[in-house]
Amino acid sequence: MVELVSVDLDRASPIHLLRMNFAAPFAVATVCSILIEDARAIPVEVTVSPSGVGFHLKIRKQVTVEEDLKIRALLWDHADRLVYALKKWALNPKEKYVDLVFDEKNDGLERPLPLEDILKPHEKEVENINELLDKGENDKADEEVKKLAKEIEPEISKYKRKQYIGCIAFKTDEIREALEKVCGDIAERDKTFSWKMYPAWWPGWDWILATFSDDKDKAWKRITWLKNRAEKDGKLILKDADTRLFVKERTST
């Protein structure tokens, strides 16, 4: 059995947070075959993730591993978490730790987000959204969710922190493989170094290396260091390569 169902919402959007918060009782009721009224009574804790950007939902209900995976899937839990949880369960049906959510990452700690308190001045809007959802009028409910998210966004932003993404767009799998090795080595030595590699979806580039930082200048320094000094087997990887560098603030998505 799993004592707590956790959902990693890897997006900064208050709209997405509210959507999943309202959807959580329906997901639990559907998967666990209980009444929606009983599902709404189950405590849901909301925190800002260690990155300071996304959110965690923690549903205080004991469920089976299968129920845990289904609820998380219905609430758009991070895909990688679901895959790893499914693998662990497949390898060991008695595995207890299939639902782990980081409360600390890259020297950052998750922080409580008092969503219930933030929503108290908007009780009528919350009640209206729940009524629309109960009637199956999901499109109308979503329009009201968007309005409510806009109203409470200033309050939610107080609990988040800025994050900047330093990006390097480049070509070829050869460079990608070399950069992955370099970034992996850096991350082993420096726990504050966070990075991801993405396919480039616009013409002219094959890949984008993204590094994450809470400081704009640090984000720029990191990617310029990689551009000018990253090397493999004694050869500079990006120095003479065709690249594009930029830093942007990570905002609601």
Task: Give the pLDDT confidence score for residue 108 in this predicted structure.
Answer: 61
Residue 106 φ/ψ region, left for φ over 0, alpha for ψ in the -120 to 50 degree band, beta for the rest: left
Task: Give the pLDDT confidence score for residue 103 in this predicted structure.
Answer: 61
Task: Give the pLDDT confidence score for residue 20 in this predicted structure.
Answer: 97
Task: Give the pLDDT confidence score for residue 106 in this predicted structure.
Answer: 44
Note whether 37 and 104 are within 8 A (CB): no
CA distance 2 to 163: 33
CB neighbours of residue 70 within 10 Å: 18
Residue 44 has pLDDT above 80, yes or no: yes
Fold of 164-249: Alpha-Beta Plaits (3.30.70)
Mean pLDDT of 145-167: 92
Task: Give the pLDDT confidence score for residue 253 in this predicted structure.
Answer: 46
pLDDT tens column, 166-221: 999 999 999 999 999 999 999 999 988 989 999 998 899 999 999 999 899 999 99
Mean pLDDT of 67-81: 94
Q: Where are the domains of the chain?
A: 5-157, 164-249
Residues above pLDDT 90, as percent of the chain: 78
DSSP string of 108-126, one letter each residue: EE-EE--HHHHHGGGHHHH
State residue 118 phi and psi, 5-degree precision.
-65, -30
